[in-house]
Amino acid sequence: MASAAFAVSPTASSPAGEVQILPFDAPLGAEVIGLDLSQPVDTATFKRIHQAHLDHHVLVFRDVSITPAQQVDFSRRFGPLQIHVLRKFQLAGTPEVLVVSNIKENGEPIGLGDAGHYWHSDLSYKDKPSLGSLLHAQELPKEGGDTLFANQHLAFETLPDELRRAIDGRLAEHSYLAKYEELRARSPWRPALTQAQIDEVVPVQHPIVRTHPETGRRALFVSEHFTTGVVGLPKDESDALLAELFALSTRDSLVYRHQWQANDMVFWDNRSVMHLAAGTPDHERRKLYRTTIEGDVPF
């Protein structure tokens, strides 16, 4: 599936001082070039970025040289930030930043190395799932490390009519623990959770089809990583329905494959896309910093 997804070639830099937003030739996504995020973004430019995020769902900021604190400050302009339950991988001194990395130091992982192993929308297992996430490249592998994004507005809009009727008005349960032990069994990056951490991630129910609170567009809101069942259906029917939705929601025709460049920062809308880490070879080093913006209760 992933091999045929749209990938985008690097774009030439814009003239100094000129901010450009250039849509990709893909089902979603645009790059932002010429914006210096180390400086405060003026109101007019911020409104352009906000609208572009709504229009394109994934923004790729090129050649971003900022500190973690500046990433936090820019992220906060979109809303309050959420702290990941795995506090072990917070960036020292900046708890709003989750370190996403396969690197080990003194035999211990410095970040969450298997983040994005399954298709998902960040923090869909919370009462208020994420509005969006920003991921800033710190160290990139020479091979691998791509991230795939799937447009869930298009996923919903292209569903067969019979399937749309089957999910109309239905809720699904989301749980952080859905695949946690499965990942932990084969991963050095998943520590045993304390009871306090488990209490932070009590399963929640959300509409299978959610309405974007800013645009009014409808999107599928289920994922293979966190969605455990359709409320009110027997398990066999629920499993069959979800399997069909998972397959249809990540078709190649819906996917943009991001091939990271040095200093990229990618900002995606968790209300309208899912994403997947394509994987990094064990011998390659990868480190990125993630901030996550709190969203609204889905409806």
For residue 127, indicate whether it is catalytic. Answer: no
Token pair listed for 162: 């019979």
> Which is catalytic among the residues 56, 153, 206, 290?
290
Cross-strand partners of 229: 173
For residue 114, indicate whether it is catalytic. Answer: no
The β-bridge relationship of strands 255-258 and 6-7 is: parallel
For residue 62, indicate whether it is catalytic. Answer: no
Q: What is the DSSP letter of 277?
A: E
| Element housing 72 (H / E) | helix 68-76
> Which is catalytic among the residues 122, 146, 264, 269?
122
> Which is catalytic among the residues 53, 120, 174, 206?
120
For residue 53, indicate whether it is catalytic. Answer: no
Spatial contact of 150 and 212, defined as CB atoms under 8 Å apart: no
Q: Residue type for 254, please? A: L
> Which is catalytic among the residues 56, 136, 275, 286?
275
| Element housing 154 (H / E) | helix 152-157
The β-bridge relationship of strands 209-211 and 204-207 is: unpaired
State the catalytic residues. Answer: 120, 122, 275, 290
